[in-house]
Amino acid sequence: MPQVGNAIPHESAVGHVTGTAAYIDDLPRRERELVVAFVGSPIAAGRLKEIKGLEAARSASGVRCVLTHEDLGGPNHFGPIISDEPFLVDEQLSYIGQPVVVIGADTQEAASEAAARIELVCEAAEPILSIDKAIECESFIGPHRHMTSPAAEDDKQFDAAFRDAPHTLAGRFHSNGQEQFYFETQAALAELREDGVVRVISSTQNPTETQTVVAEALGMGMHQVVCECPRMGGGFGGKETQSSLTAVMVSIVAAATGQPARLVLTRAQDMAITGKRHQYQCDYRIAFDNTGRLLAAEMAFYSNGGAFADLSTAVLERTMLHADNAYSIPMMRVTGQVCRTNLPPNTAFRGFGGPQGIAVIENGIERIAAHLGIDSCAVRRANLYQDGVAGRQQTHYGQIVRDHVLDEIFEQLAESSGYESRRREIQKFNSTSRTHAKGIALSPVKFGISFTTKFLNQANALVNVYMDGTVQVSTGGTEMGQGLNTKLKQIVADEFGLSIDRVQLMTTSTEKNINTSPTAASAGADLNGAAAVNACKKIKHRMREFAAVLLADVEKGLVASPEHICIEGGLVYDDRDLDPNARLAFGEFCSIARRERIDLGARGFFATPGVDYNRETGRGNPFFYYTTGAAVAEVTIDLLTGELVFDRADLLMDVGKMINPGIDRGQVIGGFMQGVGWVTNEELLFDDTGRLLSTGPTTYKIPNITDLPRTFNVDFIANTKHTKNIRHSKAVGEPPLMLGLAVWLAARNAVASVADGKPFELALPATGEELLMTLTDLTASSAPRDAKSADNGAPTNGVGAVKPRAGRS
């Protein structure tokens, strides 16, 4: 029975629900293991003049080492794209909590006592905390980026498109950041082997990056560092690069003392010093006709990158690549700039900049519909990419959007959700209710799958078939709960015609899989699955060559022919031989093959074909394919309190032929709800000094059970046109998150019902407080309030002007 296509339970499901799945903090304590702690910067910006108390800290009972940047064996800087971040502060202080001193001690109490004896003498400077301040100070990271569609390259033609358009609007849109809030905080354990190799067990999405930065910090070669990742308690992008500092701190302690060292951040520490989803500000203008058809668009994105580059330039690039979402826009100009501020360096988060770009165009669609007095769903359908239709299939960066079913998704979802009838019912409800307002919205997603950096689109896998017919698989992919290992087991089991219990996925280790890419960009199963299949095919080629000779039978007229050898159903046989006794059990065959010196192991490799994007020109094919889908969301808002109730969600996704329908369904639901959190309740708050105020679940509200929609429908649409990927599947990790925007759009639709045509702004996230203040302003005065804003509209050509207000940036 084939394993692919079945909803086989997650390989660690029992461990997850019983608490027996081991994470870094659960691993047995090593003999003489040290607790690692650190002292961080007390200010967001300034200069470190002196570190007092180092000797006093070193003399504290139970303290084994107190380390500063002077104790590093290599250069004091790192970064996945731009190497601008110090491991430990030398002089310049760039954000609150930035590591300055690292302590290794026998107990947590001893480490805390040593930390208390250390005083950082600092000279404070005025911090840059907002995008507006960074722009004013010209505090930037990386180059100013441009993407322009061919039709928009001529300035006169582009300006004419706006001048001659029946309608235009313009505005400024703000979206706030988001905390990854993985269940397991940043954690690492390091130990020095007797051969001098440093072994790091890290909760990381990126073992090769961890191996690299640890080697750099210690002044060692990569061959002297091994990084392992048994599993993570969640990652969501937050452990793609930011797991590095934790790993470095435990490694320098282990190297300095020769003793194992472990660091598991507290929740408050983790939230205070690690990067989040990027805050964004976008100035935009859109030209459109009387039917809502988009004629031209211009967007200028600014992101809050924090103190150092991290992945911010790549995140911004994906924002710009997704500024069109699912819509064909004839003339488009997109620019982008990362701003350097005195906050922890922001980083990857599920969607990787895509959500911030998509939010802008979706907000614009809502404003267009309001101006024309038509339903926003009609505007969306009028602008969708059309497969095979000239002029309606090319993106602003030049890639053709093909083999999709966007039209079919809209048609099927509108019908299955009863969108039109519900919209009429909501209008009727809103016309009579004085205490509540309902809203509904249907929004799509078109999300590009691949790393936009070409060289990262590769993977390798090691497959070993043992003489009893069981299989071990090692890849560079890391398991963080998303079900990657379960899918890989299914793929490999089918390659050898085995049951899934005869395949074992091994701990991810740089010792077995070299130079790997991070498990990110939704491409974990795509890349590592294809690499594993490549290895399996090499082994099966050898098996067939040997089996052809082994099973040849002159008396039966069976000449050795590898093409007729079948490896399936736990058996190896020649399909020309109908004698059941001539069939060998797979394990028996492997034992014979081993005795005949047949190699039953192989290393596989895969490089994604057809991806080639030129950053200098802003043109090319950055994506292998697109995952698409749409969602209908319905909400009810209490006009007296601002409380939002999520009434119903209907999701429809094209994820190709699913390798594991159960896991994919879980990914769609989880991703969607994480997106709902971003647009509703999850609000990051910093004080005027740059200190994070929302440092735990009591002050930062991730979705809980009461935030789920009262009715939740999830379905998948068939797409026979998609044949590119491993088993004709599609990536599913990130795309559903963008569908959470439908809830924000539905909330906006509800607020619009009481706005009586007045322009208004709604922040993202639309918290209960934000909804109540917006509603209060709309009912109290015709002038919108001057407060934190999602859309400082400055529309033209007859659309009512909106008073600008200070945006949250």
Encoded tokens for 41: 């910067």
Question: What are the tokens at 377?
Answer: 């769903």
Concatenated DSSP letters for 143-206? Answer: EEEEEE-GGG-SHHHHHHHHHHSSEEEEEEEEE--B----SS-SEEEEEE-TTSPEEEEE--S-
Contact in structure between 353 and 316 (CB atoms under 8 Å): yes
The span from the CA of 434 to the CA of 441, in Å, is 21
What is the edge-to-edge ordering of all strands in the sheet holding 261-264?
Answer: 63-67, 99-105, 34-40, 261-264, 187-192, 198-202, 225-229, 508-509
How would DSSP label each residue in 312-340? HHHHHHHHHHTTTTTB--SEEEEEEEEEE
Q: Which of 479, 734, 761, 770 is catalytic?
A: 734
Residues 6+ apart with CB under 8 A from 346: 177, 275, 276, 277, 278, 279, 303, 304, 305, 306, 310, 312, 315
53 secondary structure, DSSP code = -
Q: Give the span between the Cα atoms of 443 and 440, in whole angstroms.
A: 10
Instruction: Yes or no: say if 77 and 83 are a contact pair by the CB < 8 Å rule.
Output: yes
What ranges in 264-392 are assigned the alpha helix state H? 267-273, 312-321, 354-372, 376-383
Phi, psi at residue 669, to the nearest 5°? -65, -45
- Alpha helices per DSSP H over 629-738: 661-679, 735-738
- Strands (E) in 403-553, as ranges, are 436-449, 458-465, 471-475, 503-505, 508-509
Cα–Cα distances in angstroms (integers) from residue 159 to residues 283, 295, 351, in the given order: 16, 12, 32
Strands of the 167-175 sheet, one edge to the other: 140-148, 331-340, 294-306, 280-288, 167-175
Alpha-carbon dihedral sign for residues 178, 184, 185, 189: negative
Q: Return the percent helix, strand and coil in the chain, to nearest 5.
A: 35, 25, 40
* Backbone φ, ψ for residue 666 (5° rounding): -65, -40
Q: Rg for the chain (alpha carbons), in Å?
A: 28
* 734 tagged catalytic: yes
Distances (CA, A) of 440 to 449, 477, 572, 717: 29, 39, 57, 22
Sheet containing 584-585: order of strands: 565-568, 571-574, 584-585
C-alpha 738/C-alpha 322 separation (Å) is 11
What is the token pair recorded at 644?
């939002």
DSSP string covering 437-453: EEEEEEEEEEEEES-SS
The CA-CA-CA angle for residues 617, 206, 730, to 5°, reads 65
Q: Helix, strand, or coil here: 459?
A: strand
584-585 and 612-614 strand pairing:
unpaired
Q: Are 239 and 182 in contact (CB under 8 A)?
A: yes
CA distance 352 to 363: 19
Which of the residues are catalytic?
734
